[in-house]
C-alpha cells in the first residue's frame, strides 16, 4: 500500500481576529471574540444604506481581516495598479503562502530556478507546460526534459521532448481555484492519444 501521509512543515493563515497561526491559537485558547464592532463611519464607508444603519435591528458586527489594505505589491513583483485590480482574497493568499514558506524555513533565493541554472547547480531541468505552447523553457545549457503541448516554442532542442495533452481538452482533469475551496471536474472535449502530464511524470519517477 502506498504511503499517502502528508507532512505539514509550514503554516500561514489569515482569519478574523488573527494575522497568523500563533494569534489564532491564542484566540482559540482564550476564547476571545474575533468579531469586530463597526462604527457608523465604518458602515458609511462600506456603502451600507442609511436605512439599514438606522434600523435598530441591524447588527453592527462583522468578521474583519486586519491589515488587508497593507499589501506590499512591489514585494510580490506587482505594480500598484495590478494590486488594486487583484481580488483581495488573492492578495491575502500571496501573503499567507509567503508566511508558510518562512514558517517552514524555506529559502526562496536558494531554490530560485534561474539562479540555480546560471550557477550550474542543477544537472537537469524538467519543464512542464500542458496548457499553452507559449510557455517556453529558459534558454540554458542544462539538459532538459520537456513535457509540453504540441507546438510549444523551444529555443533549442531538449534532450527529451514528450508531447502531453491539455486538461479539460485532451483528457479529463480538475481545476482548483486558489481564492476559494472549490474544485471542479474537467471533461475531455476531443479524442486524443496524448498522455496526461501526471502519468508521464509518474513513469519517469518509477524508472529512476
As a three-state string, the secondary structure of 111-177 is CCHHHHHHCCCCCCEEEEECCCCCCCCCCCCCCEEEEECCCCCCCCCCCEEEECCCECCCECEEEEC
Nearest Cα residue to 172 out of 148, 150, 193, 196: 196
The grid coordinates listed for 18 are 488573527
Q: For residue 90, give the H/E element and its range.
A: helix 88-103
Please tell me the number of Cα atoms within 13 Å of 188 on its side-chain side.
12
Any bridge partners for residue 61, and if so which? 37
> Is the per-residue pLDDT at 54 higher than 90?
yes
Distance CA 159, CA 170 (A): 25
Question: Of how many residues is the chain composed?
Answer: 208
C-alpha 92/C-alpha 71 separation (Å) is: 8
**What tens digit of pLDDT does each residue of 100-154 get?**
999 998 887 777 888 888 888 888 899 999 888 888 888 888 899 999 999 898 8
pLDDT in tens, 82-112: 888 888 888 888 899 899 999 998 887 777 8
Q: How far apart are CA 17 and CA 10, in angstroms?
A: 20
pTM, rounded to two decimals: 0.56
CB < 8 Å & 24+ apart, contacts of 149-153: 150/194
Mean pLDDT throughout 33-46?
Answer: 90
- Tell me the three state secondary structure of residue 203: helix
pLDDT attached to residue 25: 92
Average pLDDT over residues 68-77: 87
Please tell me the predicted confidence (pLDDT) of residue 181.
56
Taking phi first (over 0 means left), then psi (-120 to 50 degrees means alpha), and beta for anything else, what does residue 105 get?
left
pLDDT digits (tens, 9 = 90+) for 158-192: 999 999 999 888 988 887 765 555 677 888 888 89
% of the chain at pLDDT higher than 90: 30
- Asked if the model's pLDDT at residue 156 lies above 60, the reply is yes
Mean pLDDT, the chain, rounded, equals 86
Distances (CA, A) of 93 to 32, 104, 125, 167: 24, 16, 28, 24
Look at residue 58 in the predicted model and tell me its pLDDT: 94
Amino acid at each position: 500500500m502506498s504511503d499517502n501521509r502528508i507532512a505539514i512543515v509550514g503554516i500561514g493563515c489569515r482569519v478574523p481576529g488573527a494575522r497568523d497561526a500563533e494569534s489564532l491559537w491564542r484566540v482559540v485558547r482564550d476564547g476571545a471574540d474575533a468579531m469586530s464592532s463597526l462604527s457608523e463611519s465604518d458602515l458609511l464607508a462600506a456603502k451600507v444604506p442609511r436605512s439599514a444603519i438606522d434600523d435598530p435591528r441591524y447588527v453592527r458586527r462583522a468578521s474583519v481581516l486586519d491589515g488587508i489594505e497593507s499589501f506590499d505589491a512591489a514585494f510580490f513583483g506587482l505594480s500598484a495598479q495590478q494590486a488594486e485590480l487583484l481580488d483581495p482574497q488573492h492578495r491575502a493568499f500571496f501573503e499567507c503562502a509567503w508566511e508558510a514558506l518562512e514558517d517552514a524555513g524555506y529559502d526562496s533565493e536558494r531554490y530560485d530556478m534561474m539562479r540555480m541554472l546560471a550557477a550550474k547547480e542543477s544537472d537537469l531541468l524538467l519543464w512542464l507546460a500542458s496548457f499553452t505552447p507559449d510557455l517556453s523553457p529558459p534558454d540554458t545549457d542544462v539538459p532538459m526534459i520537456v513535457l509540453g503541448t504540441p507546438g510549444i516554442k523551444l529555443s533549442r532542442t531538449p534532450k527529451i521532448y514528450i508531447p502531453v495533452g491539455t486538461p479539460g481538452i485532451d483528457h479529463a482533469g480538475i481545476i482548483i481555484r486558489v481564492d476559494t475551496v472549490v474544485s471542479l471536474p474537467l471533461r475531455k472535449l476531443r479524442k486524443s492519444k496524448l498522455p496526461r502530464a501526471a502519468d508521464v511524470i509518474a513513469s519517469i519517477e518509477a524508472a529512476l
